[in-house]
Structure 1
């Protein structure tokens, strides 16, 4: 009987005329989606591992060397703080490690000072610990210390109060260990195991540029099919780009730091300058593309005319982003990326001449603006980029002198 009760859940649903399985295609589609998500998740995880692999090697080497220097060379029998300081320095935001080392040492000094003075007068115990931590935090805040200094001072004060009864002369080794750990971390990043700054940037740029290209492709498809839901999904996904942009900005700052302190990487300064200058226009292209997609959703909702060249313009914009990432990674002059950016503007000009509504005019303006951003990101001067965009747009010079993010009224025509 139990088996019979399970049959309704296992039985295939068939059509009334005895046809095939109706649930099969839906289940298969759901399973395909799950498999696709699993592959995407695994790909994302592996990308994060590859991105962090260099940092993991640096942290491991720095921790081992800091322990070795403090233990073998300086005779500290328990150099716990040296490897902790080394790892703490490397765990700081990339591009702020030198500053992190200075903050680490200042924070330790404050914590040692406050802890030692108060212990001398008050002794040790629970309420003394609370008072020492509070005092260390307030003192560093009053002195204008950063969050890192405040945390380090408080943590050091805790260690001084809790370990002083069982460990003699803790203060000086703690300070020396912090100095050793931070210094070793900088030596590892600058001399022993400096990361390739351009490779770091390429890996960080890939998710941001891939995200932008994919959502522009989705927008182009939505415009061709007048599919409002697809355009809306693209908009939602592009709005979640803060993590990708933050990773790119952090990678650029880290590359700047590496090239500043690492003699082995000084010869890459000119290449890095180009990448650093590309970060801001890429960020602008992201924001302007967000406006483009949002107005595409409105254009579909309002049933405005969508000339055939308009989806092509957005698709060329997506291809320009994709080629920009590829040519950056290959160390090539991004000529093909520039060509597709200008093709996007040319298609937008054709769409404009065929007639668009208010939201359509905004989409066209955003194609121009994003194309100009990509041209600047590729290394073209802003003034030259604007001139090339105007030239490619055509339309008898009826377009604005420079691309505008969102016109307040439909362009004349």
Structure 2
């Protein structure tokens, strides 16, 4: 019995590994295409236009600057490029003065790292400078002298920046996936909390709490992707049409961040509350209505009418968010859940178009 189960487990693990590998490849295709185009361009300019026989530095600068990370912001690319050029120039100057050898390599590497750390607090900046300084210090000087590599570095830097703006990665605007994943997880968490309250099910509350805790990596990933997309869209003439949508999505991200914080707080409270096994259908109904509002908020970028719907639903829910209006909410812990929901609804009303004083007026006094 054990052997068939182990074989089945191994097959499932292989399939999951293969699926994850395929997803990594698909996600990396835009970056790979961009890097290949930029590397070929840098090599062509340095080799055929400038006549450099082996423009190794031009190619390595492009690959190092662009990288495979989704953070393709021009500022990040520029920072990497500057670090690389610092390493090349420092090494070229020192090779000219000190010559080549073991102790010279130590001096060049140490000074390249020291200068890079003085110029920028980024550790990546210093490493980029150090790697390129070693290429200059270790490899034989090209026919044009060590400063030929500095010129190659400039070529690679210019090409990397041009490609970032003119041939942006096709995934820089593909931020909808993060949005959908986050709001789907929020929906699962809120509806799970509603079910736990209705039935007094502690296991369901535990699951909903675990789901709410998985939202932060999605928020962080969405933030990084959106920041990168907006930075590239600022410089790229081809992405001007996407700027308005990205601005709207930034507003949605801010709203999602607020809602996520509230949901995590509510989930922690409910996880403790339902351990007494008491059924609380009144509070469960409030969470069901909250889930509908959050779903509308999640669709608001693709359909602006959903933003108005979220506001209308929020106003309706706000009117009953007092402990007296919720059947069965007689204990202090029950009332705390109602108070936490008031904070969530207040923020939804503000991000969906109401002024803060209008949102406060919509909530009955307690």
| Category of TM-score, reference length = shorter chain | 0.7 to 0.9
Structure 2: distance between partners of 1:341 and 1:39: 44
Q: Give, in angstroms, the shift of residue 366 of structure 1.
A: 2.3
Alignment correspondent of 1:176: 151
> Aligned to 1:59, which of 23, 35, 42?
35
Alignment correspondent of 2:287: 314
Q: Give, in angstroms, the shift of residue 224 of structure 1.
A: 1.9
Q: Give, in angstroms, the shift of residue 206 of structure 1.
A: 2.0
Distance 1:225 1:42, change over 3 A: farther
Structure 1: distance between partners of 2:71 and 2:314: 32
1:77 and 2:77 correspond: no
Structure 2: distance between partners of 1:53 and 1:369: 42
> Aligned to 2:298, which of 322, 325, 349?
325
Equivalent residues, number: 360
Alignment correspondent of 1:275: 249
Q: Is the 8 A contact 1:112 1:171 kept in 2?
A: no
Q: Give, in angstroms, the shift of residue 296 of structure 1.
A: 0.2
Structure 1: distance between partners of 2:257 and 2:121: 31
Alignment correspondent of 1:383: 356
For residue 334 of structure 1, give the secondary structure of its aligned residue in structure 2: helix
Structure 1: distance between partners of 2:292 and 2:145: 61
Structure 1: distance between partners of 2:103 and 2:34: 40
Distance 1:83 1:357, change over 3 A: farther
> Aligned to 2:164, which of 180, 186, 189?
189
Q: Give, in angstroms, the shift of residue 39 of structure 1.
A: 9.5
Structure 1: state its 5+ residue gaps: 1-8, 11-26, 400-413
Structure 1: distance between partners of 2:186 and 2:24: 19
1:227 and 2:198 correspond: no
Distance 1:385 1:234, change over 3 A: farther
Alignment correspondent of 2:76: 100
Alignment correspondent of 2:185: 211
Structure 2: distance between partners of 1:39 and 1:308: 42
Structure 1: distance between partners of 2:160 and 2:75: 12
Q: Is the 8 A contact 2:32 2:68 kept in 1?
A: no
Worse-matched range after superposition: 82-91 or 39-48: 39-48
Alignment correspondent of 2:127: 151
For residue 175 of structure 2, give the secondary structure of its aligned residue in structure 1: helix
Q: Is the 8 A contact 1:93 1:250 kept in 2?
A: no
Q: What is the CA deviation profile of residues 310-366 of structure 1, one whole-angstrom value per residue up to 9, with x for unaligned ones?
A: 112222323333333334245655334444444554564477543242332222222
1:374 and 2:341 correspond: no
Q: Is the 8 A contact 1:111 1:136 kept in 2?
A: yes
Distance 1:168 1:282, change over 3 A: same
> Aligned to 2:331, which of 343, 350, 357?
357
For residue 161 of structure 1, give the secondary structure of its aligned residue in structure 2: helix
Q: Is the 8 A contact 1:109 1:175 kept in 2?
A: yes
Q: Is the 8 A contact 1:191 1:264 kept in 2?
A: yes
CA RMSD, 1 decimal: 3.6
Distance 1:69 1:330, change over 3 A: farther
1:252 and 2:226 correspond: yes
Alignment correspondent of 2:91: 115
Q: Give, in angstroms, the shift of residue 385 of structure 1.
A: 6.5
Q: Is the 8 A contact 1:136 1:157 kept in 2?
A: yes
Alignment correspondent of 2:105: 129
Q: What is the CA deviation profile of residues 155-175 of structure 1, one whole-angstrom value per residue up to 9, with x for unaligned ones?
A: 1121122113x6454643433
Q: Is the 8 A contact 2:270 2:337 kept in 1?
A: yes
Q: Give, in angstroms, the shift of residue 118 of structure 1.
A: 3.7
Q: Give, in angstroms, the shift of residue 179 of structure 1.
A: 2.8
Higher relative contact order (CA 8 A, sep 6+): 2
Alignment correspondent of 1:201: 175
Structure 2: distance between partners of 1:217 and 1:127: 66
